[in-house]
């Protein structure tokens, strides 16, 4: 039985556990899961911490990690995993494309209690590319890759089912600045164009649902045609794909399979609210998993900031799950420090959106009280990165000062406090 089916009968144990730090109770979460407004990516083979994503829940964040052709150090990827956990990520995706992909995935699953996601088409396409070409994948290979990941315990998979012939036609007509920037999307687009056939992940979606049911796998319906530049945001191919994803959300729910929907990408600030509203409307309130979004194209090296600005605004308007962006985005594979910077930026974005809904406001209030008291130790207990805050305090101030070197003797807080006493 899938989690949706169990929620139809009662309130499963995972749901009870999942609301421990959430602003709603377990009965309500069970109802939201039943109606497809929330998901808990949870493959029983892995049995991760149940993390709820969706309506009325705290905003969650995801960290991507994984090897590449040029960087195959598995221990380094596990270090990234630990940093992601330490700084508060709620999920990780292993996007490995180099070295022994199966072994990396299994190590990630074995070494974390966070839900783990993957994009099985990467491995399928790369394996085929080594033999001949990505366009030679057959549908069995595509579905077998999903099954293999599920059998290993992967909790959610990105599946680019919305990259259809119709969406590709729309892409061709549209004339984008950057055609396709999604790796999975590009594999399937190349496959469709070369073979002149429909995307098997769309054509045989019922089979994908059978696999998902078997492992209680959560589908993350990927946006293979997400805009890769500000100029392409909210264009016809993006919306064409989203319409298909809305249809697939409905079919997933009919088969009691949990589904969320991935979103852009690169979106200017003034289009973010519309993007969230359109997704929620077309996909009947399915949880929205945004990749950033980046609000400008001119910040390589600082794309974690661009992504946090977009993520905060998207979450404020109702996006549920933020995929982090690192400073290395568009430049290279992130290292451990990049992962740390990315996860912190995303956490700030998620928290900034949560406090507008009255969630976790006490963290800010406690920190402000400690700041008023110039109680630095108490402040460090509440900040997003205590190590960095402590280090900066130590480096930039003499040990005996209760104020800080920003204003020194004319510390506004101290001066007013002294007068009030």
Nearer to ligand SF4, 281 or 381 (CB): 381
Q: How far is the CB of 417 from ligand SF4 (least distance, A)?
A: 10
Calpha distance 263→290 (Å, rounded): 5
DSSP of 268-303: -HHHHHHHHHHHHHHTTT--EEEE--BS-SS-TT-H
Least distance in Å: CB of 408 to ligand SF4? 6
Residue 229 CA to residue 292 CA, distance in Å, equals 12
Please, what is the minimum distance in Å from the beta carbon of residue 368 to ligand SF4? 12
Among residues 177 and 407, whose Cβ is nearest to ligand SF4?
407
The answer to whether residues 167 and 244 touch, using CB atoms and an 8 Å cutoff, is yes
Q: How far is the CB of 89 from ligand SF4 (least distance, A)?
A: 30
Contact yes or no for 289/260 (Cβ under 8 A): yes
For residue 321, what are the β-bridge partners?
A: 60, 289
Indicate the residue among 243 and 404 with the shorter CB distance to ligand SF4: 404
| Euclidean distance between CA atoms 345 and 331, whole angstroms | 18
Alpha carbon of residue 42 to chain centroid = 15
Of 51, 137, 151, 49, nearest to 105 by C-alpha is 151
Neighbours of 197 (CB within 10 A): 12
- Provide the sign of the torsion angle of the four alpha carbons 91, 10, 149, 258, taken in this order: negative
How far apart CA 50 and CA 271 sit, in angstroms, is: 32
Nearer to ligand SF4, 183 or 414 (CB): 414
* Residue number with CB closer to ligand SF4 (139 or 397): 397
For ligand SF4, give the closer residue by CB, 243 or 374: 374
CB of 385 to ligand SF4, least distance (A): 18
Distance CA 42, CA 54 (A): 14
3-state helix, strand, coil in the chain (%, to 5): 55, 10, 35
Q: What is the DSSP letter of 181?
A: -
Which one-letter DSSP state was computed for residue 374? T
Which residue's CB is nearer to ligand SF4, number 131 or number 399? 399
Q: Is the dihedral of CA 327, 333, 334, 335 positive or negative?
A: negative
Q: Which residues contact 411 (CB under 8 A, 6 or more apart)?
A: 374, 403, 404
Q: Which is nearer to ligand SF4, 27 or 390 (CB)?
A: 390
**Among residues 24 and 374, whose Cβ is nearest to ligand SF4?**
374
Q: 262: closest CA among 85, 39, 18, 104?
A: 39
- Residue 415 Cβ vs ligand SF4, minimum distance, rounded to whole Å: 8
Minimum gap (Å) between residue 306 Cβ and ligand SF4? 27
160 three-class SS: coil
Query: Could you say which DSSP state residue 266 is in?
Result: B
Question: Of the two residues 21 and 368, which places its CB atom closer to ligand SF4 in the complex?
Answer: 368
CB 284 within 8 A of CB 278: no
Cβ–Cβ under 8 Å, residues 257 and 213: yes
Query: 363 or 403: whose CB is closer to ligand SF4?
Result: 403
**Least separation, in Å, of the C-beta of 264 and ligand SF4?**
38
Q: What are the residues binding ligand SF4 (CB under 6 A)? A: 403-404, 406-407, 411-413
């Amino acid at each position: 039985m899938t989690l949706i089916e169990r929620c139809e009968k009662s309130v499963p144990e995972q749901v009870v556990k999942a609301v421990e730090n959430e602003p709603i109770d377990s009965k309500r979460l069970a109802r939201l899961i039943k109606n497809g407004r929330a998901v808990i990516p949870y493959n029983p083979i892995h049995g991760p911490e149940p993390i709820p994503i969706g309506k009325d829940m705290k905003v969650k964040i995801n960290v991507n990690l994984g090897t590449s052709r040029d960087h195959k150090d598995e221990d380094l990827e596990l270090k990234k995993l630990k940093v992601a956990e330490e700084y508060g990520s709620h999920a990780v995706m292993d996007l490995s494309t180099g070295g022994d992909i199966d072994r990396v995935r299994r190590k990630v699953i074995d070494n974390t209690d966070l839900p783990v996601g993957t994009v099985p088409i990467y491995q399928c396409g790369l394996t085929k590319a080594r033999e001949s070409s990505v366009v030679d994948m057959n549908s069995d290979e595509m579905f077998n890759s999903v099954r293999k990941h599920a059998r290993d315990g992967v909790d959610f998979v990105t599946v680019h089912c919305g990259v259809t012939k119709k969406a590709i036609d729309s892409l061709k007509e549209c004339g984008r600045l950057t055609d396709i920037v999604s790796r999975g999307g590009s594999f399937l687009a190349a496959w469709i164009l070369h073979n002149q056939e429909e995307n098997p992940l769309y054509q045989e979606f019922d089979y994908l649902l059978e696999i998902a049911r078997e492992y209680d796998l959560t589908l993350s319906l990927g946006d293979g045609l997400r805009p890769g530049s500000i100029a392409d945001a909210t264009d016809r191919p993006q919306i064409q794909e989203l319409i298909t994803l809305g249809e697939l959300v409905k079919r997933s729910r009919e088969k009691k399979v949990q589904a969320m929907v991935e979103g852009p990408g690169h979106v200017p600030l003034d289009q973010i609210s519309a993007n969230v509203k359109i997704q929620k409307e077309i996909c009947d309130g399915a949880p929205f998993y945004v990749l950033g979004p980046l609000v400008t194209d001119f910040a390589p090296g600082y794309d974690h900031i661009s992504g946090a600005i977009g993520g905060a605004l998207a979450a404020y308007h109702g996006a549920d799950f933020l995929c982090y962006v690192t400073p290395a985005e568009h430049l290279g594979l992130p290292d451990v420090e990049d992962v740390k910077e990315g996860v912190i930026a995303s956490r700030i974005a998620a928290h900034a959106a949560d406090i507008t809904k009255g969630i976790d406001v006490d963290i800010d209030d406690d920190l402000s009280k400690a700041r008023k008291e110039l109680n630095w130790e108490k402040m460090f207990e509440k900040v997003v990165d205590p190590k960095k805050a402590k280090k900066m305090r130590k480096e930039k101030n003499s040990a005996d000062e209760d104020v800080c070197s920003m204003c020194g003797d004319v510390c506004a807080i101290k001066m007013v406090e002294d007068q009030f006493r």
